[in-house]
Amino acid sequence: MPRLTLVLYLAAMLAALVGFFLAAPDGLVAVLWQVAVGYLATTAILVGARRNTDDRAAWYCFAVGIFANSTGLFVEAIDAALVHPTGLPSVPSLADAFYLTLYPAFALGLALLIRKREARRDWGALVDATMVVAGLSLPAWIFIIAPSAGDPTLSIPGHLVSIAYPVGDLMLAAMLIRLHLGARRPRPRALWLMSGSLAAFLCADIAWAVLHVLGQSPDDTTRRLIQVTSMLAYTLIGAAALHPSARQIGEQDQPLAAHLKIATICLFTGAALIAPALLIFQVAQGRVTNGLAIAVGCIAMVLLVATRMSQLIRRLEQQATTIREMSHTDELTGLPNRRAWTIELPRAIERARRDSVPLSVAMLDMDHFKLFNDTHGHPAGDRLLTVAGAAWQRRLREVDYLARYGGEEFLVLLPDADGVRAGQVVDRLRNTTPLGQTFSAGIATWDGRETSDELVARADSALYAAKQAGRNRTVLAPSPGADLAGEYPATASDPSR
């Protein structure tokens, strides 16, 4: 049913647009024809807002804008027939108030959609949109705004109203670009229909503005083309509301990776080149009449580009930090991993050398972990490692460093601790091991000369000895050069005794 409603709506509107262009009505018939199209689009927006979206406030704003804009046609016709029957209507007129209502209404609706879609403000997309609009603002100023502002036939309110139209167009262009830059992928078709509507409004407004600046009145065909373009804008925004994908415009999506596509880069490049191109154009004509405006435009673009570059650099730095932390963190337990350990241990050895304090390393290995996995399943084994790591971390000193070495093996770095002190710390860990599980441990104390690899190798040998001796015990490794084939000279802990 929703798709059938959309198809019938589009068929009726297409017939109305084609009929208007071919029949070439004039006078009150032409006005009523356009107003009817605008009111039908308003009705479509209201129906679509209730059926297809949760963002009714935004779409109601669009409905207000279309209703006011199309009503302005009727108000202008009444003004021309009753108030100024013998001449041109004054500027500003009552119709201008209705026409201009479109801009704040649409801007508010777009802002509501953007706010609902994004959990937090995307400053990058805001700068990107500002960059493009800043580039477009310069030709708008030179060719439309400045001539309107300098028109001696207009009063101050007339100047303000004449300027309000191009400024409103630029505002809508900025909001539209902002909506696209943060849109989900693939973009909903309703968003493309909305974009087509705003593009049609911009084209019609630009056409009227150019004709006004040139002081020309359009012929009948040109006038009908512009009027059909405006009615097309009405039609497309109504179709956007009726399309089933309308609700997706305001839905939150996963943030995109920090990268710029080729098309986006080309868009920014084109916007940045507008000011130099205008300067070259005026130099070629032999007279630079807008040097200050062009200079201000160039400065604005440089500042926006610099701002965007600083944002991208900060984001890349944050991503690099996140990647570095992830590469040094064990995914299962959240503890430092083997890569982080190989970085931290040499630092600890250097501090122990500098401060002349003892340093010990303990290697822990869960007893019968394979049997536990086979009995309870691998997910249970993963939970055991995770819970054990968290429990051990809570019992260690702040200066100690616990890392997962691999599989069911863990390493503990114990600064300012000799073998006996390290054994006492390991015993505290044994008492907190969850699910009644046990572990074997080997401890090695740095001799002041050996490398980090040699220190870990001695702890590993002591761990092997603890397992050979029956598990669930801690063995202190002998000093380097001792006879490893014999019995270890010290046992830090043996719960079986």
Using an 8 Å Cβ cutoff, are 326 and 382 in contact? no
User: Domain ends where: 323, 351, 385?
Assistant: 323
- Which of 445, 436, 435 has the alpha carbon at shortest distance from 475? 445
246, 288: one domain: yes
317 is catalytic: no
124, 161: one domain: yes
Strands (E) across 336-431 are located at 359-366, 401-406, 409-415
Give pLDDT, residue 497: 39
Is the CA virtual torsion 213, 218, 222, 226 positive or negative?
positive
Q: With respect to residue 332, please indicate whether it lies within any of the assigned structural domains.
A: no
C-alpha to C-alpha distance for 127 and 117, rounded to whole angstroms: 18
Q: Exactly one of 408, 409, 454, 487 is catalytic; which is it? A: 408
297, 162: one domain: yes
Q: With respect to residue 227, please indicate whether it lies within any of the assigned structural domains.
A: yes
302, 343: one domain: no
pLDDT tens digit string along 25-56? 888 899 999 999 999 999 999 999 998 888 88
35, 119: one domain: yes
170, 97: one domain: yes
Chain centre distance of CA 7 = 34
Q: With respect to residue 331, please indicate whether it lies within any of the assigned structural domains.
A: no
270, 351: one domain: no
Please tell me whether residue 305 adopts helix, strand or coil conformation: helix
Q: Strands 439-445 and 474-476: what pairing?
A: parallel
Residues paired with residue 409 on neighbouring β-strands, in sequence order: 365, 406
Q: Per residue of the chain (497 residues), what is the pLDDT tens digit?
A: 668 889 999 999 999 999 999 988 888 899 999 999 999 999 999 999 998 888 889 999 999 999 999 999 999 888 877 765 555 556 678 899 999 999 999 999 998 888 887 766 777 778 888 888 888 888 888 888 888 777 777 788 888 888 888 899 998 888 888 878 766 667 889 999 999 999 999 999 888 888 877 778 888 899 999 999 999 999 999 999 999 998 888 776 555 545 567 877 888 888 889 999 989 988 988 888 888 999 998 999 899 889 988 888 888 888 888 888 788 899 899 999 999 999 999 999 999 999 999 999 999 999 999 999 999 999 999 999 999 999 999 999 889 999 999 899 999 999 999 999 999 999 889 889 998 899 999 999 999 999 999 999 999 999 999 999 999 999 999 887 654 433 333 344 554 43
Close Cβ partners of 20 (under 8 Å, ≥ 6 residues apart):
30, 33, 34, 37, 224, 227, 228, 231
Q: With respect to residue 275, please indicate whether it lies within any of the assigned structural domains.
A: yes
Q: How many domains does the chain have?
A: 2
Instruction: Please give the residue range of the domain that contains residue 465.
Output: 338-493
- Which of 333, 342, 274, 288 has the alpha carbon at shortest distance from 136? 274
pLDDT tens digit string along 298-313? 999 899 889 988 888 8
C-alpha to C-alpha distance for 456 and 446, rounded to whole angstroms: 10
* Domain CATH for 353: 3.30.70.270
pTM of the complete model: 0.66
297, 378: one domain: no
176, 299: one domain: yes
308, 398: one domain: no
106, 235: one domain: yes
Would you state the structure tokens that stand for residue 431, as one six-digit string?
């008492």
Q: Report the largest interatomic distance among the alpha carbons of the chain, rounded to a whole angstrom.
A: 119
Q: With respect to residue 328, please indicate whether it lies within any of the assigned structural domains.
A: no
142, 263: one domain: yes
Taking the CA of residue 1 as centre, how many other CA atoms within 13 Å lie in the half-sphere pointing to its CB?
Answer: 4
CA geometry: angle 351, 354, 355, nearest 5 deg: 85
Close Cβ partners of 362 (under 8 Å, ≥ 6 residues apart):
411, 412, 414, 422, 425, 426, 441, 442, 443, 459, 474
Close Cβ partners of 185 (under 8 Å, ≥ 6 residues apart):
253, 256
Of all residues in the chain, the percent with pLDDT exceeding 70 is 91
User: Domain ends where: 273, 289, 323?
Assistant: 323
Q: With respect to residue 333, please indicate whether it lies within any of the assigned structural domains.
A: no
Give pLDDT, residue 253: 58
- Which of 252, 194, 245 has the alpha carbon at shortest distance from 53? 245
Q: With respect to residue 329, please indicate whether it lies within any of the assigned structural domains.
A: no
User: Domain ends where: 295, 323, 351?
Assistant: 323
Please tell me whether residue 486 adopts helix, strand or coil conformation: coil
Question: Which residue type, as a one-letter code, is found at position 218?
Answer: P
